[in-house]
Amino acid sequence: MYYEEFEINVKTGESNLTQIYLKEGLDFISQQAMAQRPFFLYSAPDATHSPVYASERFLGKSQRGRYGDAVMELDDSIGQILAHLVSLGIHNNTLVFFTSDNGAAVMSGPHQSGSNGPFLCGKETTFEGGMREPAIAWWPGRIPAGTVSHQLASVMDLFSTSLSVAGVLPPNDRVIDGLDLSPVLFNNSLLDRPIFYYRGNQMMAVRIGQYKVHYWTWSNSWEEFNTGINFCPGQEVPGVTTHTQEEHTMQPLIFHLGQDPGERYPISVQSEEYRDVHRQVTAVVEQHQKDLIPGMPQLNMCDLAVMNWSPPGCEQLGKCLKPPESNPWKCVWPH
């Protein structure tokens, strides 16, 4: 479906775009259910991205300002999707997974920013506020309601998990980074695995169990910070939320996230706990670097010609655009 004529009123924050996404999702589910076809729906509303917006029915309804209004509408739309699955009688054969691609942005000012609670900083950093997201799995009859898991997981795991649930084997001609979370979802098992935190090509930190080890720290540059853009407003931690890229590979910063979820109090390098964790993580990192097969970054080069100038549906509306000539240049990503 092609959409162009929708408005986001930047002044009032009103837009019905979330409702458009919702209607398309509900219609798609209905079509697939009626045809008795399996389906995969990826629904990614962007109402909490600046400019933050909500439809008229939700504006001013939350106690959290415009951002809260947007979240309230997202919550309502997810509820409608779940209710629709139940009404169609396919809820017992449908896995729903709710998560996000990153923590909330906190640098956009009081009306456009979210909150990451006790976690440090936000989007575009490798601190917990930038990398830890909610994760809720729903499958009546398969996943017991109210179950809580402390499994370390990544969005990459959803690929492997979806294949497993659908009874499809993953491709065997490449390394698959994600794990199948089926044992976690259905048996409440715990998989022993590390999580690697990257920023670009640089491995910034590693998480094993409750411990997080920072080999590099960086929030955002002094140049950006001095213009008023702050990735960690009100949360600056000396030596941690640095505005230059600081290397700690010889003596990494180690935090126990169960006791210190805000990453404010590094474990003493003189303690036995530090030495034990450092030794364990060093072995894991060495194996990771040995097994790693570097890929060609897809965002090294920018080219306006590769944008989708003629999306499906543009023909009927006479809105197809001729792409410009290809003229690649090296991208600059300041974060």
Output the DSSP codes for 260-298: -TT--SPPPTTSHHHHHHHHHHHHHHHHHHHH------T
pLDDT value of residue 35: 98
The parent domain of residue 312 ranges over 300-334
In a domain, 67, yes or no: no
pLDDT tens profile 232-272: 999 999 999 999 999 999 999 999 999 999 999 999 999 99
Domain assignment present for 326: yes
Q: Does 6 reside within a domain?
A: no
- Confirm whether 75 is domain-assigned: no
Is 177 inside a domain boundary?
Answer: no
Length of the chain: 335
What percentage of the chain has pLDDT greater than the value 70? 98
pLDDT in tens, 109-141: 777 899 999 999 999 999 999 999 999 999 999
pTM, two decimal places = 0.91
Is the per-residue pLDDT at 4 higher than 80? Answer: no
Helix pair angle (17-34, 65-87), 10° resolution: 10
What does the pLDDT read at residue 314? 86
- Sorting pLDDT into bands at 50, 70 and 90, what band is 174? confident
The per-residue pLDDT for range 293-321, each reduced to its tens digit, is 888 777 788 999 988 888 888 888 888 89
Peptide bond into 297 cis (omega under 30): no
Q: How confident is the model at residue 2 (pLDDT cuts 50, 70, 90)?
A: low
Q: Is residue 323 part of a domain?
A: yes
> Judging by beta carbons within 10 Å of its beta carbon (0-12, 13-18, 19+), is residue 107 exposed, middle or buried?
buried
Q: Give how many domains the chain has, as a whole number.
A: 1
Within a domain: 328: yes
- Give the residue-averaged pLDDT of 183-201: 94
Residue 120 lies in a domain: no
Per-residue pLDDT at 318:
87
